[in-house]
Amino acid sequence: MKTIRVVAAIIRDKDRIFATQRGYGDFKDGWEFPGGKIEEGETPREAIIREIKEELAADIIPGSLLTTVEYDYPEFHLSMDCFWAELQPDQNMELREHEAAKWLSLADIDSVDWLPADKEVVKAIKQGRVREATEQDLDALLELYLYLHEDSIPEKDDHLARTWDQIINDPNHHLIVYEKEGKIISSCVCVIIPNLTRNVRPYAFIENVVTHEDYRGNGYAGECLNYAKEIAQKENCYKMMLLTGSKKPETLRFYEKAGYNSSDKTAFIQWLG
């Protein structure tokens, strides 16, 4: 069976995603995520930027890969890389190939008749997953940190931009997020620190463990910590460390359940103004 490789963009605006209605071919009138075939010599990201420009006359910022759908239609096998995406600032979309389009909230995502392969994308959106943050996640993370110890979102100035660029491009700085229904709801940071002792093995430090208050108690932070542990093991770390300012028994039990103990070492902290 012939395999066709395509890309699709899950264009989002806060809690809404963009759906298009096919205007031609065997699947006319079915709803889908916009995109198209990968041309020879193109990467999937290059293809999705081109396709959205051709179909919707708009420039997008591709984000992380949500899923790759493998689906057998009667006449061909479809392999579809599906990327989260956002519109570039001041962009307006124009329908050039589709007959209709609409923004869907997550509550009404099932209100349209999705094409079979695109139904698999909808499932992936609903399921949630752990991944590392991308450049496009800054705003969502700053909002999430309001549930940590921040009381406001920092000003978007050059200092913030430089700090974010340093974090996102540092191979030893892993900013881990749990994404559900297109929203970042939990996160932690795992920093790999090179080391000259313990047979020159690095160690990992965990910070900024946080979950949105509406999603706590569901294991999402635990999933982030497990992902951090996988990174530390892959990097051959000999230990992982974290600090918590909480004295709540349930918080301490959470970290113990995740494999940490408070008896092996004594932690000291000095605040620097």
Name the residue ranges covered by the structural domains of the chain.
3-127, 129-257
The 10 Å Cβ neighbour count of residue 233 is: 11
Q: What is the pLDDT of residue 190?
A: 98
> Residues in the chain with pLDDT < 50?
none
Indicate the SS3 state at residue 28. Answer: coil
pTM beyond cutoff 0.85: no
In this structure, which topology does domain 129-257 adopt according to CATH?
Aminopeptidase (3.40.630)
Token pair 């921040």: residue: 150
Length of the chain: 273
Q: What is the pLDDT of residue 235?
A: 98
Q: What is the pLDDT of residue 135?
A: 86
Q: Which CATH superfamily is domain 3-127 in?
A: Nucleoside Triphosphate Pyrophosphohydrolase (3.90.79.10)
Q: What is the pLDDT of residue 106?
A: 82
List the alpha helices (DSSP H) in the chain.
Answer: 44-56, 116-127, 138-144, 158-169, 220-234, 249-257
Q: What is the pLDDT of residue 220?
A: 95
The 10 Å Cβ neighbour count of residue 43 is: 11
Selection from 168, 272, 270, 188 nearest residue 231 by Cα: 188
Q: Are 48 and 7 in contact (CB under 8 A)?
A: yes
Q: What is the pLDDT of residue 156?
A: 93
Q: What is the pLDDT of residues 100-111, one digit of tens each?
A: 999 998 889 999
DSSP state, 146?
Answer: G
